[in-house]
Amino acid sequence: MSGLEAPEKAHITTTCERFITNVLKPRFLPVLRPTEFNYPVDIQGKWHGTRYRFLQRYRSGFADNRGEEFDAPFVRLDWIAPDRFNIQWHRHTGAWFCIHRGKTLAQALKLIETDGILHPN
């Protein structure tokens, strides 16, 4: 895992899941509001190597694929050293763009909470 040890990964996962449950979901997904278009139904996190991605899950309301779901990432924490992360913003083009470097986990989560560009759509 390029230096990311299992105990630290478990700590990051637990901390991020708590952040999603206690901060992101109440603020950005307090209730489900089905529409005739794609609408958000969940916020979750997933690891991809040493990168922890925050994802918003959408459900389709379109007649031809009603109920199908897909994930759309909105921010990513790239582990670079023990308790140090680069924060990547997911552009509408699909590309990732680093906007903060070398932050602690606490700093990174505070930035996700307060910096509007890092919020889910």
Q: Tokens in use for 19?
A: 């952040």
Closest CA to 86 of 111, 118, 108: 108
**DSSP-derived 3-state class of residue 95:** coil
Any idea where the domains of the chain sit in the sequence?
6-118
What is the dihedral angle through the alpha carbons of 102, 105, 109, 112, rounded to the nearest 10 degrees? Answer: 30
**Tokens 């206690």, residue located:** 22
Q: Tokens in use for 35?
A: 């529409």
Q: What is the pLDDT along the chain (121 residues), one digit of tens a residue?
A: 469 999 999 999 999 999 999 999 999 999 988 888 999 999 999 999 999 999 999 999 888 888 899 999 999 999 999 999 999 999 999 999 999 999 999 999 999 999 999 999 8
Q: What is the pTM of this model?
A: 0.92
